[in-house]
């Protein structure tokens, strides 16, 4: 983020000046914007002395102080430590639910983006792909089976050839035993990671391939999942995006 010479306060007041707000009317707006990100103590700091995380949050406060209808954020989670990352997640969730305005952000953290956002647009070599690009596997197709080199995955009936497949982590069902159902893809594995992701639970399962599932806290408690335990990964063939 680019800062002008001067203090944090002067940078925010300049944004207001561009929008026709006088400096005498802006101090309260500045204080409110900075407190929203927990950086009120930086108000009189020189902008060129800020750390990466402080700089990121100051730039966001400067953008919000003008009350935009649409907020564009390019890689907003870069340079943030764990606590700042959580603060940014809370801000994005709150902005969407409370402000009822549009927020568009880019990210390479596909799981975090999927957990936070409503509509998700994924790009591969500049072209849009109808997939969150999580649980992404490369391989080849034969007789309606996708071979990753480690695992054979049954495809939807209308897929005859593809080089990549992706399974939405929301579509993966975890179970203690194989499900007795029409689900065509069922693989045993072990839980290698359980983590919080924007209010949801991300469970990483190591089978012949690695799978990520996003589940609710209620599902985590109901299944009583623990690290290292055996678990089954289940997903329908029509939940697969092939390209």
pLDDT at 79: 76
Per the CB < 8 A criterion, the answer to whether 191 and 227 are in contact is: yes
**In the CATH scheme, what is the homologous superfamily, with its name and number, of domain 8-106?**
P-loop containing nucleotide triphosphate hydrolases (3.40.50.300)
78-120 pLDDT, tens per residue? 877 887 888 788 888 888 777 678 899 999 888 888 888 888 8
Share of the chain above pLDDT 70, in %: 100
Per-residue CA distances from 78 to 106, 107, 131 (Å): 11, 9, 23
pLDDT at 99: 66
What are the residue ranges spanned by the domains of the chain? 8-106, 135-242
CATH architecture of 135-242: Beta Barrel (2.40)
Q: Tell whether pTM > 0.85.
A: no
pLDDT at 218: 94
Give the mean pLDDT of the chain: 91
Query: In the structure, what pLDDT confidence band is assigned to residue 216 with cuts at 50, 70 and 90?
Result: very high
**For the CA atoms of 184, 187, 192, 198, what is the dihedral angle to 10 degrees?**
0
Burial (Cβ within 10 Å: 0-12, 13-18, ≥19) of residue 76: buried
Share of the chain above pLDDT 90, in %: 60
């Amino acid at each position: 983020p680019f800062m002008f010479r001067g203090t944090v306060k002067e940078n925010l007041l300049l944004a207001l000046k561009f929008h026709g707000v006088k400096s005498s009317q802006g101090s309260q707006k500045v204080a409110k914007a900075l407190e929203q990100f927990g950086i009120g103590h930086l108000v009189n700091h020189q902008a060129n002395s800020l750390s990466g995380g402080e700089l990121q949050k100051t730039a966001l406060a400067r953008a919000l102080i003008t009350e935009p209808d649409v907020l564009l954020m390019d890689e907003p989670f870069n340079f943030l430590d764990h606590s700042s990352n959580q603060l940014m997640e809370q801000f994005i969730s709150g902005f969407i639910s409370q402000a009822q305005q549009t927020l568009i952000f880019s990210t390479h953290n596909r799981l975090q983006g999927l957990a936070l956002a409503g509509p998700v647009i994924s790009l591969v070599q500049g072209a849009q792909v109808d997939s969150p690009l999580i649980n992404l596997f490369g391989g080849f197709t034969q007789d309606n089976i996708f071979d990753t080199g480690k695992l054979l995955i049954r495809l939807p009936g209308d897929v005859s050839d593809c080089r990549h497949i992706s399974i939405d982590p929301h579509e993966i069902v975890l179970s203690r035993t194989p499900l007795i159902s029409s689900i065509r893809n069922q693989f045993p594995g072990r839980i290698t990671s359980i983590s919080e992701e924007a209010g949801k639970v991300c469970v990483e399962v190591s089978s012949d391939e690695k799978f990520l599932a996003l589940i609710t806290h209620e599902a985590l408690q109901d299944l009583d999942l623990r690290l290292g335990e055996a678990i089954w990964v289940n997903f329908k063939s029509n939940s697969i995006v092939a390209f």
